[in-house]
Structure formats: structure tokens, C-alpha cells
Structure 1
Amino acid sequence: MSKEETFQDLSLNSPSGQQDLWRWLYTELRAAILDRRLKPGARMPSTRSLSAQYSLSRGTVVAAFEQLQAEGYTRTEVGSGTYVASGIPEGFLSATRKPATPVGTASKAAISKHAQQFLKDVEVMPAPHSVGKAFRSYEPAIDLFPVDLWARVASRVLRRAPRSLYGHGDAAGYQPLRRAIAEYVGASPGVRCSAEQIIITSGTQQALDLISRLLVTMGDHVWMEDPGYLRALQALRNTGARIVPVPVDEDGLIVKAGRKLAPKAKLAYVTPANQFPMGVTMSADRRLELLRWAASANAWIIEDEYDAEYRYAGRPVAALQTLDSSGCVIYVGTFTKMLFNALRLGFMVLPERLVDAFRSARSIIDLHPPTLDQAILAEFITEGHFGHHLRRMRQIYAERIDVLKTAADEHLNGLLDVVHTGAGIRTLGWLKTWKSDRDATQKVRKLGLEVSPLSMFTVKYEQPPALMLGFAGCNPAELRRGVSILATALRAR
């Protein structure tokens, strides 16, 4: 029996109705090669005989043969024909057809022990299929974002953009955007900086990751507000830092406690304008005390101002960075909470001596931030749309916290004491009849609401049971509906 006749005895699966015929033939022949039904060195049939046998066009068979040769499964000898390649390893399994008895040993390669340690507490946030759901705490009022205006700005930028904007970008970020940010943070929270001190990041999380990588060595002590921002804790812990939970009171982080616990800590993470999640503002005395400690300990301070622009009485609080005379504060901001979640653009304001190192590190991670998105945002800011949107949102969010507080006082009296916060996009509700905020959260989530227990943000210092409630992204009707459901859930013990 000839080699070609041997091949004709192979049973090939019938093609599915949705599959291209050339791909079906390629897949079946590849499976036969990998399963050793076609031995290395065996001569393949002619394209003419295959066309006749399976009622295929010559072009279809040629396309399948060309793909097999391109991927190294076959070789062609001029004047002789096409042969199965000899170098395919024994036991290499087909992705489409597994042999009855697996050959070889499954790989035992695994992620590192260090990664296993820090990943065990990481919760991946699922992509929501709706907006404005009570009481989602991380979402601004996406439904009120001026999409048409953004689209017009984007269209104009894309039409007029020089071809250089489609090329390799600056690792530090688009220069016009950095200038716009320097003017914005200088006018509002009073940050003192030039455009050259700004590094554009993919949101706050990348900024925290960069800071952790460059400024923290494994084993370094790091002060962390307790309770505090969980993803900052995870970013710092990822580098092998020894987290030092420092308690928080009505004046913010208790610096004296930090000095007692770890006087030579390398870094402190704080949210001074609107402490996450307690919502308090760090007092002037504490700010000065924290800066004095950092200067004496040669430590760094991360000032995370994730939603500092949203204050509903008076002007935004001046940044801690404005008081820094020793150059130890790194100011971190984001546009995610101020515009919309999908805009993964944030920034750091760095002391001048850190700029070159961070620019180099930023280039290693992903070369540079997306230039066209930066160009659109730069125009959005410089044309005044950003400032107008913030002013409008301050008014709307102030109205929404009023709605939430009024509805809570009416329907949740004796069950949940909702704080009438003066800043931010979320608040706390102190539980009155539940001892465990995690049990209450589980009960409430079963009814479709999105709440978080305060205890999930604590490390060492326990707090009374409370629920985190987002209000900025919910319209008044949804807030009232959410309060009604909350009342039902919290009454049903």
C-alpha cells in the first residue's frame, strides 16, 4: 500500500457548517500530524487527489497546505511533493484532538510564592452591566457625563492631530496635558509644581504600583491608615513592605501612634482631604506633624487625593503638598472619579529629584500612556469643559447626599445612621441592630444592592459595624429605592 493510500485511510471529522473549509482541512491534517497518524517524513497526497476525495476546490486545499507549511508542520521538495516535517516533538498534543492516553507529564510550573501570598486577598472587580445602581461606591454620575461634548472634542482632536501623535509617545505623558494639569492643581488644591514634575499614569493604581516599586524595599515599614484604601495596601504589600496599620480619629491619621509603632518607616500613605473610608479631614496640626516626622525620618508621603474636588461647602482643602518644604510628598490624582471610570488616566506630582527615575520606570511598564486619549483630555480641560463639569457635579452630588440622608432618616431610623458627608462620592451608615457588618452586607447584597462593610477596610483596629454607601452615581429615585430595600433587609434578621 502506498503512502498516499495510507493517508486516504485516515478518518477526518466532517466540517462544521460555520467553519471555513480550508481551516477545517488544515485543522484535521494538523491533528493527524500531531497525533502521529501521519508519521514524520510521510509524503502528503497531492492537492488534486485531496480535492477529488473531499469535493474541495484546489484553492481550498492549497490554502490549507500553505498554512501547514508556514507553521512548520510540513516541508515541500521541488519536483517531489510535500512531506510531514521531521522535527515535531514526540508527544506534542493537538489543541483540537487529545489522544486517548496522554503522553508525557503535565507541567507543574506555578506562580511564585510571593505572588501567591499577595494575590490571596485580591478581589478582581467585575465589569458592571449597568450604571447608577444603589449603592455603588466607586462610580461617579456616568449618566450625566456630557458624552456628546466629549465626542465633539475627540472628533476635532482626531481630525487635526499631527501624524506624530500616532507615533511613540512621551513616557512622562503628553506635554500639553501635563501643562493643563499643573495649572489645574495649582489653582484648586494649590499644589506647587511645574509640568515637568508630572507623570501621567493609568489611574491611581498604576501610580501606587510605581511608587511601591521605586521607593519601597522588601522589609521596609510603611504606615497605612487603618481603616484605609484596600488597593493601596495591596500595592504596597506587593513589594514586600511590612505594613504598619496606624489608627485614624476625627483629625485623620494619628501621627503619634505611627511614631510609636514604626518611627523609622520608609513611607506613609494618607488621604488627608477626605480620609478613605471614614470621610474625615486631616487637621492642620496633624499635617504639620506628619511632615515634620517625614523630614526627620527621611520618609516619603503619598498624598492620595482621589476625590478632593468634591466638597459641598466652601472651597477644596489645600493639598498637604503645599506645606511640604523638604520635598517628601508625592501628590496622586485621578480623572476616573471626576469624569468616568473607563478613562484610565491619572497623574503624580513628584519632587524634582524623582522625575527621571519615575519616567524611566514608567517606560518599562508600558512605554507611554495612550497619547490620543491624553490629547482629548487636554483639550477638554483647556477649553473649560472640565471645570464646568466639576462645578455641575458638586451641585448634583450635594443634592444627592441630601436625598439619601432624608430618605434614610425617614425609613432607616433605628437601623442605620447615615452620615451626611460634606465631601466625596460615598458615605458611611452606622449599623444600630447588627453586630456584624459583613453579615448585614451579605443580607443586603442578596436583594441586589451594592454595599461594602467597613470592616473590609480595617487591618488591626476594629470599628463599629457600618456600611459604605455610594450616592454620586445614583439618581434620586434609585437612592430612595435603595433605602427602601435597605430597610427591608436590615429589619429581616
Structure 2
Amino acid sequence: MSASGFPLKLDPSEASPYYRQIYARVRDAVADGRLRPGDRVPSIRGLASALGLARGTVEAAYDLLIGEGYLLPQGQAGTRVAAIGPHAARLGRTRPAAPAAALPGPRSPRPFQLGLPALDAFPHALWSRLIARRLRGATQEDGYPAPAGDPGLREAIAAHLALSRGLRCAPAQVFVTAGYRHTLDLVARTLLRPGDPVWIEDPGFPPTRQLVEAHGARAVAVPVDAEGLCVAEGRRCAARARLAVVTPSHQAPLGVALALPRRLELLAWAAAAEARVLEDDYDGEYRYQGRPLPALASLDREGVVYYAGTFSKVLLPSLRLAYVVVPERDVPRFEATCAAFHGGCPQLVQAVVADFMLEGHLARHVKKMRGLYARRRAAVVEALQAVFGARLRVELQAGGMHLLARLQGRADDRALARAAQRAGLALQALSDWQHEHAVEPGLLLGFTNVADPAAARELAEALRAAWHHSSPRRRGDE
């Protein structure tokens, strides 16, 4: 079989699966010049037939090639080699060409990995078209990005938040960052002084404490219960805290939502203490019972909430794009911090994300993912219940991208998590997210990349094997 004049032969003795072999052969042919810009490659159906493979195998290879910028789908005109230079193509053997900085590589996500969207459902073809269009329109005047963010993206984010989260803000209040850690760093540089108390959730995202303390502030672990952050306990421990970092829509990691009385209590405390609240809305778009909850910031009438969002969960972590919305009175301070410490995020990525949002693709994508995640979550829950029965209790919450499974009859979730990780499962122990207050043992499992019920059952069986290997076998463990 030949593709546009170069032989495409697969080796069944290779360790790489066939889709990776096709990907590598085409990529190398582009790098060597055997495939030139504009050359047409065989259709998915035609290549699958010629090689005797399933259509999905060839489609997976083409998705990678399109996603990394080697191929460009052109509708009725077929799929052709993209117009990337030979130097960039040669670099692609070890690292992707420029557009691929915003796209996942060929490595698959690890089973049960937290914090990843469904990489197999990302709209690669559409994304490639948006990138290509922006590259064709690039001008010599394109220089360094604005420290606070691309104006078009800031405008798109403001419009999106008004519709999806009930949060009205001006584009000037939106500051584009390179991820959650950068968002928290920006807030800390602008707001905190050494020794300032900062409320953090307990249990809570471990990097939050690390970064707060790296800035010389004092992290105050405030317990979380079924209604979210215990505001009264925070006031008792540090009534004059400068900042509270919370995840009110879907608490990380317990998954509970901050109850309305607690929300109002938190806002009242911040206003009285002249403090600020950083609302980390990391996966608030994904709610499977009813509509997504309004943002805490939408209730703010005193200008005390910083609203933090991210594109890592709705699009791709490799975009390295997030944002924070600050009250209007704090805009000059954040502008000064950005000018001093932030070189700006990649302009091409920002522009493509803005196009994706303004043309309505983001809203459609989130709606599609919400349905897909609901199905995948149900498949994982069903598999865990079938394999473990009463030994594992899944605490289903209204939304989110991970599951919390409580261990019945086991007190050491860390040992089980280590055994599972040695077996290739990327789940985490709930105890690793606690700070000062003990938690009931449990496991945190990402479900977004579990493709189907068969894969869910296979992973549940692998977890059961790890369960047996991590503790002495007892009656009832069979």
C-alpha cells in the first residue's frame, strides 16, 4: 500500500499499536519530504481497507496527525498534508510543530487520572481549522502578548460568564493566566503580605497550601462538611484572614456544593474583615442533575470575590490557559502585578480559544461533554458496584469530573492507592488531600477517559486485584 507515493508498511512484531505505527510513518514521511504540503493522503476508509485494519484504528492515527498539525482535513477535497515547513516537520520527530503546543500528544491518559477532560472527544479537526485560519491571518505586527490577556479573549470570557455562570463583568476585569497555580500566584502577589492568614479547605487541593506558604502567608486549614466550608470554624481560627480559597460549586475533593447559608455567611465575613475570597470554579460546568449552580461571585455585592476559571477541564490542560475575574476596584492593582511579573500567555492559543468561544463552539462542546461524562460516570459506578459490592461505597454528587469511593472495612486508603498506582491506575487516596483534620478513607477516581462499560469493568477488576495485593486476604474479601 502507498499513501501519496510513499510505502506505508506496518510491522506486527513492533510493540507499538497499529495506529501509532501509521502516525509515525506519516509523520516521518512529512519530515523527510516524501509527503509534501498539499499532497492528498488516502481516506480513512480507503487506508483501512488497504491495510486490513478497523476504520477506528486509522481514524485514531489521523486524529493525532491532524491534531499535531501534520494533516489538514478539507471536506470534499479530502485530507492533505498541512503547510508546515520542513524544519518544523523534522522537529516533530521529537516534539510537535507549533500548533501542537495546544493539543494532546499521542500518549494516552492513565486510567482513573484526575483532572483530565475526555481527550478522545476533543474536536481536533475543528481546532486545526481554527489554528490554520489564524496562522493565515498572522501579520508582522503581531508582537508580544498583552500581560493581562488578549482583548478578544477577555471579551469572550466576559460574555461566556454572563450566560453560563450568572456573572456579569467587564472585559477589563478579566485577567488571563497560565493555569490555576498562576492564578493563585497572581492573587498572592497582589494581595498577600508575609504572615497573612489564608483560609484553605481541609481536605483540599494540595498545591493550594504549597503556593500560599511559598508566598510567606500562613495557611489556615478550615474543615469541610456536607454543606461545604465551615465558615464559623474559619472565623474562630482566623477571623482576620486576608484571603479564603474555596471551591463552592464542586468541592475538591469531596464534591459537595457550598450551601446557600454558608455562601452568604462567607461573603458577609469577607466584607466585614476586608478580606477577599478566591472562588476556584474548576469544573462547575459539569453538573448532571439540574443546571450548573450560579457562581459565588454572582452573589457578591461588596466586591470581595475573585472568580477563577480554567480551560484545562473544558478543553485541554496543554492549552495552559485560565483566568481570574476581579472586582472593578482591584483592577489597577492586578494590572500593575501583571505588568511587573507576567509576560502574557501565547497569543495564538488565546486567539484560537476566543474564536472557539465567540463562534459558539465552546457551549456546544460543553453540552456534548456533559452528556458523555454522565454516561461514563454511570458506567464506572456500575462496574465498581458489580465488582466490589458493599466493600466500596461511591458517594455520588450532582456534578464534577471525579468520583469519591469510600472504603468499607479498610482504614488505609494510601496503601491501596499505592498498590493501584503500581498496577498502572492513576487514582489517588483521599487522605493525601487532608491537611490537619482526619478524613474517612476513600479513593478519588477520574472517569472522563473511561471509554465504555467494558473498559470500566476491566479497570474495576484491576482495582480489585490491587485491593487484594495491598492487604492480607481475609474472609469477605473474596
TM-score for the superposition, normalised by structure 1: 0.72
Number of the residue aligned with 1:140 = 117
Of residues 263, 266, 271, the one that matches 1:295 is 271
Aligned-partner Cα distance in 2 for 1:444–1:176: 44
Deviation at 1:325, TM superposition (A): 1.1
Maintained 8 Å contact 1:182/1:198 = yes
Give deviations 1:357-379, integer Å, cap 9, x for gaps. Answer: 22222233342221111111111
Structural mapping, 1:75-86, within 5 Å: none
2:300 pairs with 1:324: yes
Maintained 8 Å contact 1:427/1:468 = yes
Aligned-partner Cα distance in 1 for 2:151–2:398: 34
Structural mapping, 1:274-313, within 5 Å: 274-313=250-289
Deviation at 1:156, TM superposition (A): 0.7
2:196 pairs with 1:197: no
- Give the 3-state SS of the residue equivalent to 1:430 in structure 2: strand
Of residues 408, 421, 425, the one that matches 1:432 is 408
Maintained 8 Å contact 1:247/1:253 = yes
Structural mapping, 1:50-89, within 5 Å: none
Number of the residue aligned with 1:131 = 108
Of residues 442, 456, 473, the one that matches 1:466 is 442
Number of the residue aligned with 2:246 = 270
Deviation at 1:129, TM superposition (A): 7.1
Number of the residue aligned with 1:178 = 154
Number of the residue aligned with 2:138 = 161
Aligned-partner Cα distance in 1 for 2:338–2:132: 28
Number of the residue aligned with 1:365 = 341
Maintained 8 Å contact 2:111/2:425 = yes
Aligned-partner Cα distance in 2 for 1:163–1:271: 42
- Give the 3-state SS of the residue equivalent to 1:219 in structure 2: coil
- Give the 3-state SS of the residue equivalent to 1:412 in structure 2: helix
Maintained 8 Å contact 2:429/2:444 = yes
2:222 pairs with 1:246: yes
Structural mapping, 1:88-127, within 5 Å: none
Number of the residue aligned with 1:48 = none
- Give the 3-state SS of the residue equivalent to 1:333 in structure 2: strand
Number of the residue aligned with 2:311 = 335
Number of the residue aligned with 2:92 = none
Of residues 164, 171, 174, the one that matches 1:188 is 164
Tell me which structure has the larger Cα radius of gyration.
Answer: 1
2:454 pairs with 1:483: no
Number of the residue aligned with 1:379 = 355
Number of the residue aligned with 2:366 = 390
Maintained 8 Å contact 2:110/2:424 = no
Maintained 8 Å contact 2:228/2:258 = yes
Deviation at 1:403, TM superposition (A): 0.3
Q: What is the aligned length?
A: 366
Aligned-partner Cα distance in 1 for 2:283–2:459: 23
Number of the residue aligned with 2:127 = 150
Runs of 5+ consecutive residues of structure 2 not aligned to the other structure:
1-103, 472-478
Number of the residue aligned with 2:44 = none
Deviation at 1:128, TM superposition (A): 9.2
Deviation at 1:203, TM superposition (A): 1.3
Which stretch of structure 1 is more off in the superposition, 234-243 or 289-298? 234-243
Aligned-partner Cα distance in 1 for 2:159–2:385: 41
Give deviations 1:372-409, integer Å, cap 9, x for gaps. Answer: 11111111111111111100000000001100111111
Q: Aligned letter for 1:376?
A: V
Deviation at 1:234, TM superposition (A): 1.4
Number of the residue aligned with 2:207 = 231
Number of the residue aligned with 2:390 = 414
Give deviations 1:232-285, integer Å, cap 9, x for gaps. Answer: 211111111111111111110011111111111111010000000000000110
Deviation at 1:307, TM superposition (A): 0.5
Q: Aligned letter for 1:312?
A: Y
How big is the alpha-carbon RMSD for the aligned residues of Structure 1 and Structure 2? 1.4
Give deviations 1:21-44, integer Å, cap 9, x for gaps. Answer: xxxxxxxxxxxxxxxxxxxxxxxx
TM-score for the superposition, normalised by structure 2: 0.75
Q: Aligned letter for 1:136?
A: Q
Maintained 8 Å contact 2:197/2:240 = yes
